Amino acid sequence: MKGKKSFNNSRKIPSISLAEAEQKIEAMGITADKFTSSKPIEDTLNHLVSKDDQYKAITGYDATRELAYRNIAKLQPFYNKEWIVDQGNKLAATSPLLTKEVLSVTAMKGNDFVTELADADHILIHYADKTKDIFSMTPKDSKVKQVKEYSVAELGEVVYTPNMVDKDRSDLISAIVEKIKSLSNCNRIQSTHILVEQVLTKSMLLRTFTSKKASKQSRTI
């Protein structure tokens, strides 16, 4: 085909027009140019669905609330898609979660980030348009023991669940404190207990923020 010659020996190869090339392709029965890629059989067997379609098959799905579903998934990382759609349908028509893409959700107390879930009293939400919202929240009973749930005043029935699991580490803390006591004859055992608890809490937070995979826990509506 006609085009720019990239090396000297190219002039030894005669050029042909696009029309001539198409005629040769047809004459030789080449069909690669007409091939279209279909969905891999593995995706069908594994019931894989693209992110664009993940909510469309759920009962109650409303196309006008697609963005809301994606945003709520960031507020409730442990729950299934059926629950997410149910929550998205409960948002008020004026909620910013219907029109703004959520980038991050952070639990806070006052102006500080929290290391203990029980201390949080509001969430800071950053949007893709560089705006933000601060919503107040209060703890509520959760049907899942190790997952904290909060009622969010500005979101009505929609709840917030931090992307971390609440674990009772009292036995582990006591064991570590006793080990430290036996090794160093530490007299300030109460301070050591608090220090160990803080280290374990920060370690848990670090694992949460750096993990690329979060286990999904189903919830029945």
* Residues across the chain: 221
**Residue 49 CB neighbours (<10 A):** 13
Q: Answer yes or no: are the C-beta atoms of 169 and 189 closer than 8 Å.
A: no
pLDDT in tens, 160-207: 888 766 555 566 666 676 666 665 555 554 555 555 566 656 555 555
Burial-class residue 147 by CB neighbours within 10 Å (0-12, 13-18, 19+). Answer: buried
Three-state DSSP state, 53:
coil
List of residues 6+ apart from 195 with CB closer than 8 A: none
Q: What is the pTM of this model?
A: 0.55
- Predicted local distance difference test score (pLDDT) of residue 173: 64
**Among candidates 98, 100, 78, which has minimal Cα distance to 89?**
98
The whole-chain average pLDDT of the chain stands at: 74
In this structure, the number of other CB atoms found within 10 A of the CB of residue 18 comes to 9
Q: Can you give the C-alpha Rg of the chain in angstroms?
A: 28
7-23 residue pLDDT tens: 566 666 777 888 888 88
Condensed to tens digits (0 to 9), the pLDDT of residues 41-80 reads: 565 555 555 666 788 888 999 999 999 999 999 998 888 8
